Amino acid sequence: MAGLAAAFGSGAMTNPIEDIERSDVILITGSNTTETHPVLSSYVKRAVAFKGAKLIVVDPRRIKITDFATHWLRQKLGTDVLWINGMMHIIIKEKLYAEEYVKSQTDGIDDLIKTVEKYTPEYVEQLTGIPKEQLIEAARLYAEAPVASILYTMGITQHITGTDNVKSLANLAMLCGNVGVRGGGVNPLRGQNNVQGACDMGGLPNVFSGYQNVNDSAAQDRMRKAWGMESLNNNPGFTATIMMEKAHEKEMKAMYIIGENPMVADPDLNHTQKGLENLDFLVVQDIFLTETAKMADVVLPSALFAEKDGTFTNTERKVQRIRKAVEAPGEARSDWRIICDLARRIGYQMDYEDARAIMEEIAQVTPSYSGINYDRLEQDGLHWPCPDTDHPGTPCLHIDRFACGIGHFHAIDYIPPAELPDEAYPLSLTTGRILYQYHTGSMTRKSGGLNEMAPECFVEISVDDAETYGIEDEQMLKVASRRGEIKAKALISRKPAKGTIFIPFHYAEAAANKLTNAALDPTAKIPEYKVCAVRIEKA
């Protein structure tokens, strides 16, 4: 969000999902699309198979979506700024960029041109491993397309340079005039249901709902009046990763965790466990007794999606109704009811009649949601921004102008990952998801059918590395980093490159995040989950 907001003025997916099938060229990077977004990936496959679209995939693993690609570029882990700058170098040198669009709609192009000048195909090949001929062909294909879209996920963002990576993709799209057009755009695919909605509702430490800054006086007044407050604190809070560090240093005394399982999801889990143990008081509100909930002083049981009313906002900014289908078991209740009861007990009368009343307040205090209400959502959803009840919603952003007026190029130089292989830890580890399990497994690992398909963790290792280390398929391995170690079975595969292993992070008993590096992006404070140094041995 930080990278796109800096470039475009809005940190959300620019185009609706259906626009994928309008693209002439689709660039996918940092996204194992068929496994992490299997429904959305069908749009990509249809565009290629039936509508003549060309697909460029840039990924260090030979993932399934590469089967549909015109070009697959395999970069070394953590070198995304290099290849993106390399593509822009080629596009600028060959005068393939949208010169009139750049002049009229953007600023900062001169600094960008100076910065990418040194990122020649030869230089990029030396550091990324991408053959220069492949880079040139992919750059020309993207630049010469009538309209091209970019899809990315956490393979781009989960680095110490995650914000820089996103700004670089925004640079590439603006350079070729692919923002504000149907079938184009820069499109982050959200990793979980309603991530977009959680952010929209102020689930960030520096904004109210609708990304209104906490120190903006107009937003302060709007919220203060709606909530009946004389004043509101205008100091930004901490991100989740910084909160955990504060807990570890005993600077934070209590924590209230809702619908999150950091004891599997956070990097450097030994560090995370120590942080949670250092708290004086831990409350966890969730639908199952997760690994984190087992550490809590108080567990508040909440209802899941089919047991409550409300809305979700999906990856394309589309707000959609959900309706209660079944009663919640035991003492489980809707999250908002639990929060309201807690607020009243500590002195603030937080009262709503139902979920509809909350939606009415959202529209009242959130300009981008002002025109959205339950009646309008009865048959179908609406894309924000939707400023009034006569507005049809906005599927595609930045069509007439950028949200910030003009688009901003950012001159970005390459910074290597925080931790690279060495003699003691000679391999690189990257983590991710697989089709049959989901996130920390708190739901999917309770499903018998899914557990039959993917019952346990594995260490995906290349054929070359398996031969080097004398490893056989399904042999138990010990994987160690500077932060911890786990044991899991070997899966010899042609997906990873030599020198790189892949481990899914779903399995608490062999938690990949015991190994990962907690080094943070300085802007977004996101950890570098996607690259760290490890060693392996037979267990």
Percentage of the chain modeled with pLDDT above 70? 100
**Across residues 397-404, what is the average pLDDT?**
91
| 234-251 residue pLDDT tens | 999 999 999 999 999 999
Mean pLDDT of the chain: 96
Count the Cβ atoms, other than its own, within 10 Å of residue 251.
10
**Contacts of 293 by beta carbon, 8 Å cutoff, 6+ apart:** 261, 284, 286, 299
**Contacts of 472 by beta carbon, 8 Å cutoff, 6+ apart:** 466, 490, 492
Reference 9, options 428, 401, 395; nearest CA is: 401
CATH of 195-383, one of 3.10.129.10, 3.40.630.10, 3.40.50.740, 3.40.1180.10: 3.40.50.740
**Contacts of 453 by beta carbon, 8 Å cutoff, 6+ apart:** 435, 436
**Across residues 510-527, what is the average pLDDT?**
94
The position carrying tokens 């959502």 is: 377
Please state, in angstroms and rounded to a whole number, the distance separating the CA atoms of residues 508 and 271.
15
Domain boundaries defined on the chain:
2-189, 195-383, 427-538
**Contacts of 172 by beta carbon, 8 Å cutoff, 6+ apart:** 84, 87, 88, 142, 150
CA atoms within 13 A on the CB side of 392: 2
Count the Cβ atoms, other than its own, within 10 Å of residue 280.
11
Q: Which of the four pLDDT bands, split at 50, 70 and 90, describes residue 536? A: very high
Residue 248 in tokens? 């570890």
| 457-488 residue pLDDT tens | 999 999 999 999 999 999 999 999 999 999 99
Per 3-state DSSP, what percentage of the chain is helix, strand, and coil (rounded to 5)? 35, 20, 45
Alpha carbon 420 to its chain's center: 23
**pLDDT on residue 381:** 96
Identify any residues that bridge with 318 across adjacent strands, giving them in sequence order: 383
| 65-90 residue pLDDT tens | 999 999 999 999 999 999 999 999 99
**pLDDT on residue 1:** 84
Reference 430, options 483, 496, 484, 475; nearest CA is: 496
| 102-122 residue pLDDT tens | 999 999 999 999 999 999 999
| 346-389 residue pLDDT tens | 999 999 999 999 999 999 999 999 999 999 999 999 999 999 99
Could you say which architecture CATH assigns to the domain 2-189?
3-Layer(aba) Sandwich (3.40)
What type of residue sits at position 450?
L
**pLDDT on residue 400:** 87
Strands (DSSP E) along 269-404, which ranges? 281-286, 298-301, 310-313, 318-322, 382-383
**Across residues 156-163, what is the average pLDDT?**
96
| 126-152 residue pLDDT tens | 999 999 999 999 999 999 999 999 999
**Across residues 507-528, what is the average pLDDT?**
94
Radius of gyration of the chain (CA): 24
Identify any residues that bridge with 152 across adjacent strands, giving them in sequence order: 29, 188
**pLDDT on residue 3:** 92
**pLDDT on residue 192:** 85
Alpha carbon 161 to its chain's center: 14
| 329-350 residue pLDDT tens | 999 999 999 999 999 999 999 9
CATH topology of domain 427-538: Barwin-like endoglucanases (2.40.40)
Per the CB < 8 A criterion, the answer to whether 57 and 42 are in contact is no
DSSP one-letter string for 31-86: --HHHHSHHHHHHHHHHHHHH--EEEEE-SS--GGGGG-SEEE-PPTT-HHHHHHH
**pLDDT on residue 89:** 98
Please state, in angstroms and rounded to a whole number, the distance separating the CA atoms of residues 109 and 384.
30
Strands (DSSP E) along 389-529, which ranges? 407-408, 427-432, 458-462, 476-480, 485-493, 500-504, 517-520, 527-528
Residue 82 in tokens? 């290099």
**Contacts of 222 by beta carbon, 8 Å cutoff, 6+ apart:** 212, 365
**Across residues 495-518, what is the average pLDDT?**
96
Percentage of the chain modeled with pLDDT above 90? 97
| 173-200 residue pLDDT tens | 999 999 999 999 999 998 888 999 999 9
| 276-294 residue pLDDT tens | 999 999 999 999 999 999 9
Please state, in angstroms and rounded to a whole number, the distance separating the CA atoms of residues 456 and 39.
24
**pLDDT on residue 191:** 84
**pLDDT on residue 349:** 93
pTM: 0.94
